[in-house]
Amino acid sequence: MTRNLVGTVVKAVGGVFTVVCNGKKYTCFSPKKFRYQQLDILVGDHVEFEDLHRGKGVVTTVIPRKNRLVRPEIANVDVCFLVLASVPEPDFYLADKVLINCFQENIEPVIIVNKMDLDTSTMSKVMENYSTIADIVPVSALDQASVLALGKYIQGKTVCFAGQSAVGKTSLLNVLLPSTNGEVGGISQKSGRGMHTTRHSSLHAVLGGYVADTCGFSLCELQGIRSDELRLYLDDFVTIARQCKYTSCTHTAEPDCAVKQAVEDGKLCKDRYMRYLEEFAELKEAEKNQY
């Protein structure tokens, strides 16, 4: 007699899926019909599976996904830890892109300001730019307690990291997962081991939720957003824009623009608005070159 269970795929290697259900790991296989239907099973998928015996199972259903990241391939990401630091200096253009993508993918962004042991001025700069858009949490990878306080965002969720190289993503992950050995400083500790350099991303059970061990590269690039839609993905702009004279105001050349007014009144970060203008112009330019 078999029964069906529901679990989360935490690892996928060559058609073998590790599925966690009630804290227990099952080794599951994809049924043949999935292959014919070209149905993928991804890390992060919530699946129904038939519990066979001795911890083995066969997946019967992939529950509809909330979202799907491409690099790494992970489904159902709830939260993105966008890591910024004093060194390297924050790339706010990149941070804007991550925030826009999070908004589009229905992922809650949490901004982590790392390396607080080195500098505190970055924190105020980040607050100026983003305090109305996301929670901002100061941490240091050298201070375990500060990192473990991120647990409130992890509990019951699937989390991935994003951010520039060398801000400390791997270091923070290593504090969360003392058992895994990542690649601190960008130097692969696995390098020189041969051909199999492809990294399969996995989810790790941490503080009552799951954390991906590969950062969300695809969140760092804007894809398929038109210049005149960009304004719709900036949460703080959207609220203010209700007072613009034109409902489709792009906050560039239109008269009676509430967003421009908010910048003048010091209610919206000027730097953020200037970056918006640049990003808008960049998308516009790219659209011109398409035709």
Closest CA to 280 of 254, 260, 251, 258: 251
The site partner of 158 among Zn ion, ligand GDP, Mg ion, none (C-beta below 5 to 8 Å per kind) is none
| Residue 76, contacted partner among Zn ion, Mg ion, ligand GDP, none, CB below 5-8 A by kind | none
If one asks whether residue 30 binds Mg ion (CB under 5 A), the answer comes out as no
Extract the tokens encoding 186: 């960008």
Options 94, 127, 148, 166; binder of ligand GDP; rule CB under 6 A: 166
Specify whether the CB–CB gap between 78 and 158 falls below 8 A: yes
Binding mask 253-272 for Zn ion (x = CB under 5 A): ----x-x-------------
Quick one: which of 114, 124, 127 has its CA closest to 88? Answer: 114
* Strand partners of residue 205: 210
Would you count residue 251 as binding Zn ion (CB under 5 A)?
yes
In the window 88-147, what residues touch ligand GDP (CB under 6 A)? 114-115, 117-118, 140-142
**51-59, 63-71, 149-157, 165-173 -> range binding ligand GDP (CB under 6 A):** 165-173
Amino acid (one-letter) located at 188: S
Q: Which residues does 272 contact at the CB level (< 8 Å), separation at least 6?
A: 92, 96, 129, 130, 236
Minimum distance from CB of 39 to ligand GDP (Å)?
33
Q: What is the dihedral of CA 97, 137, 65, 239, to 10 degrees?
A: -60
Which listed residue (8, 18, 30, 170) binds Mg ion by CB under 5 A?
170
- What values do phi and psi take at 112, rounded to 5? -105, 120
First-last CA distance in the chain: 62
Contact segment (CB under 5 A) with Mg ion among 86-94, 166-174, 191-199, 259-267 equals: 166-174
Binding map of ligand GDP across residues 10-49, x = CB under 6 A, - = no contact: ----------------------------------------
Asked whether position 85 contacts Zn ion by CB under 5 A, the answer is no
Closest distance to ligand GDP from the beta carbon of 85 (Å)? 7
Structure tokens at 154: 């992890």
Cα–Cα distance for residue pair 43/261, rounded to 1 Å: 45
Count Cα neighbours of 28 within 13 Å in the Cβ-side half-sphere: 35
Is residue 112 involved in binding Zn ion (CB under 5 A)?
A: no
Residues that bind Zn ion (CB under 5 A): 244, 249, 251, 257, 259
Residues that bind Mg ion (CB under 5 A): 169-170
